[in-house]
Structure 1
Amino acid sequence: MKKVLITLAAVGIFLISSVAMAGIQDFTLVNQTGWDFHFVYVSPDYSDNWGADRLGETEILYTGTSRYISINDGGDHCIWDLKIVDQDQDEFQYMGINFCQVSTVTINFENGAFVAYYN
């Protein structure tokens, strides 16, 4: 019985630490537009600087795929802006997203425009 309790305690600690490692503002970006995303930027709503491309130098978020985006700023700021640059260098901005409540952003192409859905 003592071994079972120790094992359960170890599993509980592992689960808590796994959740703690994921930032509260991290999210999954889903591309359902028909165009590939070559650059993805995320910045706090109060900033005028987009910072580094979240895809890195060589990654592309192809249409029909998704990618986990880690904000990982060590803080608890919730409101962020998102900028996407597609294969044609067209830019799309989505402002004031509450990433403390949103875990998935799905971008669709509807009626001639990129439209974001938040879950």
Structure 2
Amino acid sequence: MIKTTLKAVVAAAVLVGSAAAAAPPAATPMVQSKDSYDRHVTIKNRTGWTMLRFYASDSRSDDWEEDILGSDVLENGQDVRINIDDGSGACIYDFKAEFTNGQELTRSRINVCEVSEYTYTR
């Protein structure tokens, strides 16, 4: 469930982000979860490398969900807004990003109900 929804949102956001120089992105309607927490998080890449893959999984899980970026990438300096709401009611997620230099950065226990931006740096 989270895989398909997040992949579609990320694909649209990356496309909008790459066209940002040509025209400002259109406003997207806010979709609120059942418990009224906003689980949208803007992922910012400030590492100096291109982010090839991004994963967000409920911290209670031992497995990573599918790569949210899919066939897209997040270039250094780009941002992408992702709805992390998987319908489970969870707020605490682990993030993992993989970069062109071979580095993997894993961040644990991110509260997506309270954090609206997350920046990857070196």
Q: TM-score, normalised by structure 1?
A: 0.70
The runs of at least 4 aligned residues of structure 1 exceeding 4 Å deviation read none
Aligned sequence identity (%): 34
Counterpart secondary structure, 1:93: strand
Aligned to 1:18: 30
**Offset of residue 19 of structure 1:** 4.4
Counterpart secondary structure, 1:59: coil
Counterpart secondary structure, 1:73: coil
Aligned to 2:95: 82
Q: 1:94 aligns with which of 88, 107, 114?
A: 107
Number of residues of Structure 1 aligned to a counterpart in Structure 2: 92
Aligned to 2:9: none
CA deviations 1:4-53 (Å, max 9, x no partner) are xxxxxxxxxxxxx7342797222000011101100000000110111100
Matches within 5 A, 1:8-87: 18-20=30-32, 24-56=38-70, 58-87=71-100
Work out which of the two has the higher radius of gyration on C-alpha atoms and give 1 or 2: 1
The structure whose residues are more often strand, as a share, is 1
The one-letter code matched in structure 2 to 1:53 is: D
- Distance 1:79-1:92 versus aligned 2 partners, 3 A rule: same
CA distance in 2, matches of 1:35, 1:98: 25
The one-letter code matched in structure 2 to 1:86 is: F
**Offset of residue 67 of structure 1:** 0.5
CA distance in 2, matches of 1:31, 1:85: 11
CA distance in 2, matches of 1:32, 1:69: 17
Contact 2:37 2:113 in 1 (8 A): no
The one-letter code matched in structure 2 to 1:18 is: M
Contact 1:37 1:85 in 2 (8 A): yes
The gaps in structure 1 that reach 5 residues or longer are 1-16, 110-119
Which structure's relative contact order is higher, taking Cα pairs within 8 Å and 6+ residues apart? Answer: 2
Q: TM-score, normalised by structure 2?
A: 0.68
